[in-house]
Structure formats: structure tokens, C-alpha cells
Structure 1
Amino acid sequence: MKYISISFFYLILLCKVNGQTNLPKPTKAQLAWHNMEFYLFMHFGPNTFTDLEWGHGNEKEEIFNPAKLDCEQWCRVAKASGAKGIIITAKHHDGFCLWPSKFSKHTVRESKWKDGNGDVLKDLSAACKKYGLNFGVYISPWDRNHPDYGTEKYNDVFVKMMTEIFTNYGPIWELWWDGANGEGPNGKKQIYDWARFKKTVRQLSPNTVIFSDVGPDIRWCGNENGIAGTTNWNTLNTDGFEPGLLAPTTDTLNAGNVNGKYWIPAECDVSIRPGWFYHKAEDDKVKTPEQLFQLYLKSVGRGANLLLNVPPDGNGLITKFDSAALVGFMKLREENFKNKFQFDGISFTKNKRFKYSKKLFDDNNQTFVRVRGSKENRIRLYYKTGAQINCIILKEFIKKGQKINSVKIEYFGWGSDAGIREVKSFSTMGSKRIITFPRINAKHIYITLTSLKAAPVVSEVEAYLIDENLIEK
């Protein structure tokens, strides 16, 4: 009996190790980041006035003069779009600082704007607080202006610049590191001390999430088109990798690693215009609300976050073209996701039976059910009189890790649609999966979790009939 008990103990232990307890899980800060879903990027600096995308670093400071700069206008537009935060390019590759840094002579202090007394970070940080938006900062390690770039001294400079930002403009919700690494004014490239950079941020602001190709908290999605992988794991193996040229392949960044060691979810960056900085010639090339909705389905709808760049113009304002597209985008989301179907019954397999549960449609991401079937792990939606739908939203309870590898959606139809028919199969669920398909008339809908890493935990199931023209293309 003693040997049986010992064997049973080790069997349970083995199941835990292989099944659930060793899965990577998000931190509290990462969970809060997942809930952000959509926020704005602001590329702003000398390039706004020179019509360049990558400045050379030798631009005269006096060219930066946004005479009508209004960060509160940025925040009003962000709120009207449903964005929950703003990330500003505090220092792009040209080295120009949007704050009067003590460690550079290429800053707003040397510009004509406000006679050298302006501070974009101060203004935007205050405006974000006023409008209830999270404030984030992009800072490029590459500096095509600083004389110390390409020497060990520059790593000290970069650390001091980050310290200024966190000390004077916090709290900072997300820090964005660009991995670009080119030559400085002395013709040399810099060896970045990424470990020191990370340690500095952790000491200054432990709750800030750090973005780069490889995190450590948020990863690049592998493209600048705003599109996550159709398979999107929140986990990634990063040992031996660094941001930039030493990052994993773009395919790996797009999909993540199914058995990744670390929780590093994907962020999808894309510009509302062809370029990242403002160019007047692109005023008629702003993405339409419908195009933005498609990007939403392929980013947030695949368990990633959407970072949409909206560049201010030379006056320091978001143009009417961009703001109109953003408001239209918000209107499409509101109109199409406001009428959620109320199920007559929703249940899930537990052992050999379907068990009814309100937790799957209580609009609370903190409640969940464990779906456990004897042969199949399945959720069933029921409508007494049938329902026409073409969109289903599924949410995995990621606080316990990402466990669902693949899913199949089927329905039992009426009349000529009678019988069980497959609607769509797909891989990975994650924090939010939006599935669209041609409209069906269903009495029962079956959501089968066909491949699992561990016992699945589902938080929410929603069904909608959205505009047929907006179905994912």
C-alpha cells in the first residue's frame, strides 16, 4: 500500500509538471497590458518638418517649431477613437530629444519652439493624466547625433536619459525600445548594454512593461503591417537573442513559440498613413475606418494588441483626415459589437455531461470555467428559435497560462441547413480571439477545443451579427 501511495504521488507530480504548473504565466503588469487592446503611437520630431522618415542627426534644432502644439487635442482624438494610451517618440534615430535633456545638445531646448522653454514629454504626460490615458515612451538607442555614440560612454548617456524620463515624466506604462543600430556621427556603431538598460528600468519603474523584438515583456509581431499570426502564442524563447539583428526570425516573432519559456505577447505596430512621420502628400492616403477595422480583427482579434501610429503635423496637431478615420473606426466597433446575442443556454462539458454556466457570458474576464470532457472538450450555445450570426469572440483565462492549441466551430442549422456543419477551425485562442465567417442560422453552436497543452480554462464566449462587409478578408 505504501508503494502504491508513493507511486500515485509521483504520478500526480508528473501530471502537474507536464500539464499546468510549469506553464509560463503573465505578470500583473502584463495582464493589465492585455486589457489595453488598442492605443496610439505618435511619431513626432525634426522629421515632421524635413519630410524625412529617418533623420540624419545633423538637422538644425531650429527647424522644430510646432507653433500650435496641443497635446490635449491628441488626447481628445485618442479618447474619441477608443484608444487607451499614447506612446510618443521621445528620441528617434536622429537623436533629437523632445524633452530638454541634460545629456544632449540636440533637444527642444535648442529649438525655436517656445524660445527653447518647451517640453513635449511634460505636456503630453500632463494631458494623458487629465484625460485618463496611459502614457508611454519610445526611445531609440541609436543616436545619429550624439558625439559619444559608438563608445562605452554612450551606454551611460542612454541610461541617464532613461533615468530623466522616468524621474520627471512618470508613471510610464510602456517603454518602447527600437532595436535599430546604425552608425553615429563618428562612423561607429554602438554595442548596446541591454542587460544594464533592462536593470535600470526595473529599478526605476518595476510596473513598466518593456517592448522590443524580444521583450522582456512585450514582443514585436514581426511586421509593421499591424497583423499578428493566425497562430499566436504569447510565449517565446529568447535565451541567446537580443533586439535588432540578433532577434529571432520574423516568422517566429509573428507566431511565438508553442512551448516558449517566457510570457512575451505580441504587439502589432502599424501607421494610419504610408509613412510613420507626417507628410502632407499623404493626407489623402489615410487608412479608412473599414481598413482599420480589418487591422483590429487581425491584431486584437488574434490575441495581440494594436499600436496605431497617428503622426501630428508641423503645427503639432492631429489632422482632420486622421481624426475622421479614427472616429469612424470607433463607430464601426461600437455599432458592430454592441448587440451581443443573449443565449437561451450556454454549457460546457464536465466529465460526461454538459453543465450550464453563466460565467461564460457574464462580461467578467475574471470568471471562468474549466472545460473537461470524457472524450471532447466542448462548449455548446443554444438558441430556442435560432439565431443568425457571423462572428464569435472567445477569451481564454490567460492568468493561468495559454493552453488551447486549436479550436473547431460547428453549428446545427434549420431547414435546408439542418444537420451539424463545420464553420471554421483555427489555432490558438489566447486573451481574445475574434472569428468571423459567412452568416449562419443556427440553433446550436458547438465550440470544440480540439488540441490542448493542459486542461483548458475559458473566460467568455460572445456571438454577434456584424456588417457582412466587415468580415475578415
Structure 2
Amino acid sequence: MTAVPSPAQYAWQEAERSMFIHFGPATWQGREYDDGSVPVKQINPTQLDTEEWCRAALAFGAKRIVFVAKHTGGFCWWQTDTTEYSVKNCPWKGGKGDVLRELSQSCKKHGLRLGVYIYPGDRTWGAYIGGGGKTEDPSLQDAYNEVFRTQLTEVLSRYGEIEEVWFDGSCVIEVGDILERYAKNSVIFQGPYASIRWCGTERGTMPDPAWSSINKKDLETGTATVVQSDPEGDTWAPLEVDTTLYNHFWFWSPENAKKQKTLSDLMEIYYHSAGRGGVLLLNTSPNTDGRIPAEDIRLLERFGKEIDRRFAKPLAECNGEGNELVLELEEAAVINHVMLMEDIRGGERVRRYRLEAEVNGAWQEIGAGFQIGRKRIVVVEPVKAERIRLVIDKAADTPLLRRMAAFFVKCEDHAALLTAQNSVSLVYDPVTDSWVSPGEGERVLAWNAEDVHEKKFMFDVDISRIVTEPGQYELKFLTEGSAALRIEKLEVLLERQVTDGVLSVIKEGSCYNLTRTSAVEDAQGGKTGVRGCIECLGEGERGSLTVKKIV
């Protein structure tokens, strides 16, 4: 049976665009991760204006704001007694301010939905980055669990309906009862109760295809991403595409603000996120005054207007059911874009399709693909067509086509968009029964008989030079000749700390997916490592480990 969205998932996915807000002590420190180096008494955003934040979101068509109420450092932007490291000890509004309350009121006024990012870890408790709330000192775990549970309860119970809850890097603290009570109609990002997934990269793009369905057992790991997508999966879990406005920084600083993306960058991101069925989560970064810089707001306004200019008025559109749909044009016209949409309330049913244009009475193919999903923007070579035809060559059930629309878009980036679209993102690998990126990985480790003792080979290798940014990475163990192996132990170290929940199996014993969600602040060694033990089987004792970026 085809997986279908819940009402909450459907409403969330229909929004298409959301605005992220990263704002905290790291803004004053000029860092991406709060290290506590700036005293709370110096955090005083005297011009903070949540009305402005909402206007910025509306400027590019966002329907939702996701606010980072607590980041890795543990600082809380709402009134709480769980920590002294919070807004209550800031001079802003005499320590009585509550950013989350002001934002919730502004969102309600402007018709925006509200989501909250609350990091499960906390520097002040030694709950390390990427650990999902696990403390380095086990004796502190129970006490910290209670602190985090209280914080989550406060955030979800005081500020009206929270549509989206973000647990960056999963959550190992049990919070199911809290979510059931206060967030029953929310979508959850990561953690064992996840109902939406990460796209696997912070570049602002999704691979192609990027199915919205997945197997439930994979989703329940808490760290499932686009890599675990399965068109035949039994559970709906759509994809969110988070990316920065500054390339590539989440928090404002005078230097970061100089790295603003261009309008062309943002349009490419739109095509490869919302245009591939995902939800775009575009970050904004208020400065130390609490204001979103005017230059950033102007860019967001231009972004929203450009989306409307391109796609608000189609040459023609239609809808229907079945394996063929023909779009009639009033008269022959040049087109260079086609927008396809399935009615995803019935799931993603299309598995392979072709687009054809009727030119001088004859049909010619102008595009093809596997997935349509909620939205598929297909860039085509300019063609003067009399009609457009969609042919579904393979489907899991009767296709439900919500929309087929043709456009002619005047734009300088058409050739670049067409090239990017036609480059292969993922290919199906029947050996591992998964969608993988083409190409070979880089060898990071090799062993032979001299390295093996009593059929065992212990290894500890730094792969930081390859894992240079958040994303998905393939670890593949290869053997030579008649050699065979069994993975007896395999661990990932982030910042030299063993981190659970970031490895998933692609093919047992030989191929694994590593998910890094935390930023890589510099190129120093020790940022990402792999260690373990291999048991060598058979007669040969030679092999290697390769690593490559998947998305």
C-alpha cells in the first residue's frame, strides 16, 4: 500500500517555504557554536522586533517561522527557572523579556505558523554536540534529562500551537509523553518520534529522486535522512531542506554578513528544494541589535518576487487522473518550464514519467524522470509547442495529477538550471537495494596480512579531510581476491567523542551511511573519525575503506 501523509504532514508540506532564525550568544561571539565567552550581561538586543522578523518571512512567501529557542550552548530565549544562562539574566527589558512569547504573538498576528528548535544537548551540562542530549559524565544524565524535559514542556505548553519541533541531531532523552500531550498535531524533526526528515545536506538542495516515503524501522532510528528514502516505503516522512542566507554561516557577524548568497543562488535552491517536493527552510540571522539586516530583507523580498514572476501566471494548466494527461494551449507557444504536482493525499504514485511536446503535429520528448511528488519543476529546452503531454510509464497506483502547468520564463540562469537538473544526483544500486551517488569514494584506509593479528584488524582513522561539511557520507569496506570480512565493531567519533545514532546500514558488513548534522567550523583533524574492528574471513587478508559524500 502506498504511504500517505497525515493531516499534519500534509499541511506542513503544503507550506513549501519556511524561515529559520538563528540568534543567540554565538551572534555576539562571532562563532557558530556558543562557547560561553560573552557574559550574559552583554547580551542586550535593544532593537529586537519580532514584527520585522515576520515581515521578512512573508517577503519570500514563507508560511512558517522556526525559531532557535535554545542552541548547543544551552542559552534559553524564554523565561525559565531551569538555568541561569538565559534571557532572564540579560539587561534586555530588565530581564523580563521573552523572545518566544513575542514571536508567537507576532506570528499569530501575521498568519504565520510557529516552529521551535530546542537543542537536546547543552554545553553547560556537558551534553555534547551531536550526542542527542547524552552527557559526557554519566552521573549527570538523569538530572539533565529532567532539565531538558522541563524546558521542552515549557516551550510546547506556553506559546500556543507549535507546528514543528526540531531536535537537531536526534534526541536520546525520552520525551514521547510530552510530545503526545503538547505536540500531538506537530511534525517532529529527528529523534525516535520523527515525522519529517533532513535532506542530508545544508547546501539547500535535494538529490533527485527524493521520495517522501521511508520504511518505519528506518524512521524510528531518529536520524533517517533522504538516503533512506524508499518509493515503496510504508511510512510518509517528507523532507526539509535547511540552508543559510550567508554562505555558509548560521549566525550573524560583521564578517558573515559579507557572505550573503545571491538571488541566483536562492533561485537554484528553490528549484532544487521546493521544486523537488521538499520544504525549504531558509535561515535569517538577526544582528546584536536583534534586527535582521536591511540588505538581507531586501534580498528576501527580491527572492519572493522572482518566484512569483516566474511561476504565478502559467501559459496553461490542467489536472486529471491516469497514465496520460494532455495540456491544451490556446495557441502554439514557446515554453521552457513545466510544473507537475501529484495530489499527495493519495501518496507518491508515479515511478517513471515522460514529458512530450507536440510540434507541427508530431510528439517529441522534452523531459523525463522518476518522481513527481508534491511539486516537480522541470526545466526544458525552449520549444514552440501546440500541446504538452505527460506520459506515466510506471506507477504504483492510478496517478492523481493535481496540476500540470506550462511556463515560458525569461531568465539568465536557464542553461545553468538545465545542466544542474540533467546531472545525475542518485542512481539505483541493485546490489545494495538503495539509491546512491555515482562515482567511487576516496581510500582512507588499507590493510594487508601484516596488519592482521589472529584474524582481527583494529583501526582508527581520521576522515576530517573528506567530511568537511554537514551531510551524508558513504563508508564502504572492500576486500581483494578471495578475502572476506565481518564488521565486529564500528564507531563514529565527532570532535573525538564517540557518537551514537549517526551510522546506518546500507549493506550489512560492507557499506554504511554516516550522517553528520553538526557544522564543521574549521579544517583541523579530529573533527570526524571512524574506528572499529574487522574480522578477516576466508584466505585473503587484504582490504580497504573508502569514503565519499552522498549528498
> Aligned partners of 2:126, 2:80: CA distance in 1, in Å?
15
1:428 aligns with 2:407: no
Residue 241 (structure 1) shift: 6.1
1:330 aligns with 2:285: no
1:81 aligns with 2:81: no
Residue 63 (structure 1) shift: 2.8
Question: How many equivalent pairs are there?
Answer: 404
Q: Where does residue 185 of structure 2 map in the other structure?
A: 207
Q: Where does residue 160 of structure 2 map in the other structure?
A: 170
> Aligned partners of 1:73, 1:314: CA distance in 2, in Å?
15
Q: Find 2:144's aligned residue among 143, 154, 157.
A: 154
Q: Where does residue 252 of structure 1 map in the other structure?
A: 227
> Aligned partners of 1:467, 1:218: CA distance in 2, in Å?
35
Three-state SS of the structure 2 residue aligned to 1:203 is helix
Q: Counterparts in 2 of 1:305-320, with a 5 A limit?
A: 305-320=279-294
Moved over 3 A (4+): 146-150, 240-244
Deviates more, 1:271-280 or 1:209-218: 209-218
Q: Find 1:226's aligned residue among 172, 187, 204.
A: 204
Extract unaligned runs of 5+ from structure 1: 1-21, 181-190, 347-359, 361-368, 372-376
Q: What amino acid sits opposite 2:391 in the alignment? A: T
Q: Counterparts in 2 of 1:271-310, with a 5 A limit?
A: 271-274=244-247, 275-310=249-284
1:418-471 superposed Cα distances (whole Å, 9 cap, x missing partner): 632211111111111111122110012111111211221111111111123243
Q: What amino acid sits opposite 2:67 in the alignment? A: I
Asked whether the 8 Å contact 2:28–2:38 carries over to 1, the reply is no
1:192 aligns with 2:172: yes
> Aligned partners of 2:335, 2:390: CA distance in 1, in Å?
14
Q: Where does residue 338 of structure 2 map in the other structure?
A: 392
1:134-172 superposed Cα distances (whole Å, 9 cap, x missing partner): 111000001001378551222222111111111211211
1:110-150 superposed Cα distances (whole Å, 9 cap, x missing partner): 12222211111011111111111111100000100137855
Query: Taking structure 1 as reference, are residues 235 and 62 closer, same or farther at Cα in structure 2, changes over 3 Å only?
Result: same
Residue 261 (structure 1) shift: 2.1
Asked whether the 8 Å contact 1:43–1:88 carries over to 2, the reply is yes
Residue 388 (structure 1) shift: 1.0
1:14-64 superposed Cα distances (whole Å, 9 cap, x missing partner): xxxxxxxx2221111111111110010000000010001011246422232
Q: Where does residue 370 of structure 1 map in the other structure?
A: 321
Length-normalised TM-score, structure 1:
0.81
Q: What amino acid sits opposite 2:336 in the alignment? A: N
1:443 aligns with 2:416: no
Q: What amino acid sits opposite 1:400 in the alignment? A: G
Residue 212 (structure 1) shift: 1.7
Query: Taking structure 1 as reference, are residues 436 and 47 closer, same or farther at Cα in structure 2, changes over 3 Å only?
Result: same
1:383 aligns with 2:361: no
Query: Taking structure 1 as reference, are residues 342 and 23 closer, same or farther at Cα in structure 2, changes over 3 Å only?
Result: closer
Query: Taking structure 1 as reference, are residues 29 and 251 closer, same or farther at Cα in structure 2, changes over 3 Å only?
Result: closer
Q: What amino acid sits opposite 2:172 in the alignment? A: Y
Q: What amino acid sits opposite 2:246 in the alignment? A: R
Q: Counterparts in 2 of 1:450-469, with a 5 A limit?
A: 450-469=393-412
Q: Find 1:48's aligned residue among 16, 27, 48.
A: 27
Three-state SS of the structure 2 residue aligned to 1:267 is strand
> Aligned partners of 1:147, 1:306: CA distance in 2, in Å?
32
Asked whether the 8 Å contact 1:57–1:93 carries over to 2, the reply is no
1:339 aligns with 2:313: yes
Three-state SS of the structure 2 residue aligned to 1:301 is helix
Q: What amino acid sits opposite 1:26 in the alignment? A: P
Asked whether the 8 Å contact 2:104–2:159 carries over to 1, the reply is yes
Residue 251 (structure 1) shift: 5.6
Asked whether the 8 Å contact 1:80–1:326 carries over to 2, the reply is yes
Query: Taking structure 1 as reference, are residues 51 and 118 closer, same or farther at Cα in structure 2, changes over 3 Å only?
Result: same
Asked whether the 8 Å contact 1:137–1:175 carries over to 2, the reply is yes
1:320-353 superposed Cα distances (whole Å, 9 cap, x missing partner): 121111011011011111321136xx6xxxxxxx
> Aligned partners of 1:97, 1:83: CA distance in 2, in Å?
25
> Aligned partners of 1:278, 1:455: CA distance in 2, in Å?
48
Three-state SS of the structure 2 residue aligned to 1:89 is strand
Q: Counterparts in 2 of 1:51-66, with a 5 A limit?
A: 51-57=30-36, 59-66=38-45
Length-normalised TM-score, structure 2:
0.70
> Aligned partners of 2:39, 2:148: CA distance in 1, in Å?
22
Query: Taking structure 1 as reference, are residues 331 and 322 closer, same or farther at Cα in structure 2, changes over 3 Å only?
Result: same
Asked whether the 8 Å contact 1:155–1:192 carries over to 2, the reply is no
Overall identity of the aligned pairs, in %: 33
> Aligned partners of 1:238, 1:312: CA distance in 2, in Å?
38
1:57-88 superposed Cα distances (whole Å, 9 cap, x missing partner): 46422232111111111111211221111111
Q: Where does residue 439 of structure 2 map in the other structure?
A: none
Query: Taking structure 1 as reference, are residues 285 and 214 closer, same or farther at Cα in structure 2, changes over 3 Å only?
Result: farther
